[in-house]
Amino acid sequence: AQSVTQLDSQVPVFEEAPVELRCNYSSSVSVYLFWYVQYPNQGLQLLLKYLSGSTLVESINGFEAEFNKSQTSFHLRKPSVHISDTAEYFCAVRADAGFQKLVFGTGTRLLVSP
């Protein structure tokens, strides 16, 4: 079975500052990794995903995440955040082996203040 740990329940940051949201996973098989974002009163939206190839993946709005197999991590980063980035961010993992359910972490609330 897979599991995901997001150690930070909340990350406060000032606008234009850099941010890192941490995600560690556990799995005995190869996995695919995802970051979802949930804005207030909205459903989850896929932010970015790692399937294979380059370990650094980017989103269209400036976020990036790096898959680190040796550290079993998939941390999310942004060099300069905006007020509009305030949301809940969920890391998720899914095994690359037949059907395996998508397993989510507990989420990290990013609070961007002016």
Binding mask 6-35 for other proteins (x = CB under 8 A): ---x----------------------x---
Per DSSP, the three-state class of 39 is coil
Number of neighbours of residue 10 by Cβ within 10 angstroms: 10
Does residue number 51 form part of the binding site for other proteins (CB under 8 A)?
yes
- Closest contact distance (angstroms) between CB of 67 and other proteins is 14
User: Half-sphere exposure of residue 43, counting CA atoms within 13 Å on the CB side?
Assistant: 2
- Give me the phi and psi of 85, to 5 degrees please: -80, -5
Site residues for other proteins per CB under 8 A: 4, 9, 32, 36, 41-46, 49, 51, 90, 92, 94-97, 99-102, 104-107
